[in-house]
Amino acid sequence: MERTPEKTEYRKIVLPEAVSEILQRLADAGFEAYAVGGCVRDSLLGKEPEDWDITTSASPENVKRLFSRTVDTGIEHGTVTVLYRQKGYEVTTYRLDGAYEDHRHPKSVTFTGELAEDLRRRDFTINAMAYSEREGLIDLFGGQEDLRQGVIRCVGKPMERFFEDALRILRAVRFCAQLDFSVEEETLCAMKALAGDLRLVSVERVRTELTKLLLSGRPDRLLLMQETGISAIVLPEWDRLLQGRRGEKYRCENAAHQTLQALFALYDVPFYKAAEKKERQILVYTVLLHDCAEHVGAVLRRMKFDNETIGAVTKLVCCYEKHTTIGKDEAYALRLLASRIGTAWMPFLFAVWRAEIATYKPEEASLAFSSLSWHEALFLEIVKRGECVCLKQLAVNGKDLLALGYAPGKQLGGALSALLSVVLHKPEKNRRDTLLLLAERYLEAGEIPENPME
C-alpha cells in the first residue's frame, strides 16, 4: 500500500513487541494480520493505547492452532484472546456483520477474506484503520484526515450505520469527549434522527459509554447528549437538571452547568487523580446525580450498576449537602457522618465536597475551602486517635449486653445504637465499664433512649 505523505505528520506507530510477534507468527503461517481500531487511532494521536486489538484473515481455529494459550472470548463473533507474555490480545477474524437484531448483536456474522470488508463494518473513520509493519497504515476511509480535522464521521452512510446499531450514536459523543473532537454534519443529523433507537440498546452497553464519557475530562459533552436527544432516552435526569436552578452562593445559576463545573473541579482533586477507575466511577456518578437524592438508587439500578457502586453512590449523595450543616461540634458531626457511610468512604465525601465548593462564588468558596481543609485534618485526627465511629469499635458488644439480660433483636439493637450515639458525642465514654453501667441503667429504667445525649 502507498504511504501517503501526510502520514509523516503523525507519530510513527510502534507496535509492542508482543503484538509484533503475534502478527509475525500469523504472517509466517500465510495469513494477513494487523493491529486495528482504537490502538491505531491512539498511536497516531501520540496517546498510549489501552489495549491492542488484532484483525486477521486466519479463522478462529487457525488462530487457536498457532498459539498455545488462547481463550474463546467471543468465538461466535470470531474473537479469540491470545495470551502472550502475561497479557491478553484479542485476535478477531475479518468479518462482516449482518443486521443487528434488537439493535444489540449482529444477527449473523460472516467471516470474510477481505480486510476492506472488516474495516467497512467499523463505526467511525478514525476507528477503521489498520496497521502492520509489512503493509504500513491502511486507511481506506479518510481516518487520518478526520483525525487531523478533529472530526467524528461514520464509515459509510450515517443513517444506515446508526440504524444497524444505535449505540454508535452515543459512542460518537463519547469519542468527541475523549478526543475533544466534533461531529461531522451528516453524522450529526443522523444522530438526531435516530437517537430514539437508543431505547433498544442494552443498558450495559449504554452504561459503558456513558461512564467513559464521564471519565473523559470533558463532561460538558453531556450537553451534546441533550442537543441530540440522546439523554432524553438514556439519562432523562440530565435533561431535567438542565431545567433546574441554583441559589445565590453559586457562580452559575443553571443546575446542570453547576454540575459540570463540579465535575471539572473533581478532576483536579488530588484524591480523584490518585483513585482507581472503579473509585473514580463512584465519584463522578456521585457528582452527576447529587441532585437526585430521592431516586439515585433507582437510577443506578436502572443502569444495572454493581451493588458496591450503587451502595456507595447512594450513601455519598445522601451526605453531599451535609458539609453546609456541620455545626459547632465539628468532631461530632464528622464522627456521625463516618458512622453513617463508613470511615473508608470519608475521603470520597471530602473529594466531592471540594468539587462542589469550587462552584461557589469566590468569596463564599474561600471560607468553605478553609473549613473543609480543617474538617479533613480533624477527621484524620479522629481516625488516628481511634475514636469509635462504628459498632465494631464499641467497647462493648452484643454478647456483653445479652449477659446483662438484654433480649436479642430489637432491644439489643436499640441499646447498641444508643451506646454508639453516646460515644459519637463523647469518645472518652467508649470504655467497657462506663458503657456497661449505662446499659444497666437503660435496662432498669425499662427504656432505651433514642437520643441519649439530648
- Residues of this chain that bind Mg ion (CB under 5 A): 38
Q: Does 190 bind ligand ATP (CB under 6 A)?
A: no
| Closest chain position to ligand ATP (CB) | 38
Among 118, 123, 139, 184, binds ligand ATP (CB under 6 A): 123
Among 168, 218, 323, 354, binds ligand ATP (CB under 6 A): 168
CB of 119 to ligand ATP, least distance (A): 8
- Residue nearer to ligand ATP on the CB measure, 230 or 419: 230
Q: 184: how many CB neighbours lie within 10 A of its CB?
A: 19
Alpha carbon distances (Å) from 277 to 101, 180, 212, 240, 309: 32, 21, 10, 28, 12
Q: Does 38 bind ligand ATP (CB under 6 A)?
A: yes
Binding partner selected for residue 168 from ligand ATP, Mg ion, none, CB under the kind-specific 5 to 8 Å limit: ligand ATP
Q: Does 142 bind ligand ATP (CB under 6 A)?
A: no
Q: Does 165 bind ligand ATP (CB under 6 A)?
A: yes
| Closest chain position to Mg ion (CB) | 38
CB of 351 to ligand ATP, least distance (A): 25
Q: Does 28 bind ligand ATP (CB under 6 A)?
A: no
Contact indicator for 329, 395 with CB cutoff of 8 Å: no
Q: Does 153 bind ligand ATP (CB under 6 A)?
A: no
Interface mask toward ligand ATP for 52-91; x: CB under 6 A: -x--------------------------------------
Residues 319-348 that bind ligand ATP (CB under 6 A): none
Binding partner selected for residue 122 from Mg ion, ligand ATP, none, CB under the kind-specific 5 to 8 Å limit: ligand ATP
Q: Does 122 bind ligand ATP (CB under 6 A)?
A: yes
Choices 13-21, 123-131, 242-250, 325-333 (CB under 6 A): range interacting with ligand ATP: 123-131
Among 50, 76, 248, 454, binds ligand ATP (CB under 6 A): 50
CB of 174 to ligand ATP, least distance (A): 8
CB of 51 to Mg ion, least distance (A): 5
Binding site for ligand ATP (CB under 6 A): 37-38, 50, 53, 122-123, 127-128, 165, 167-168, 212
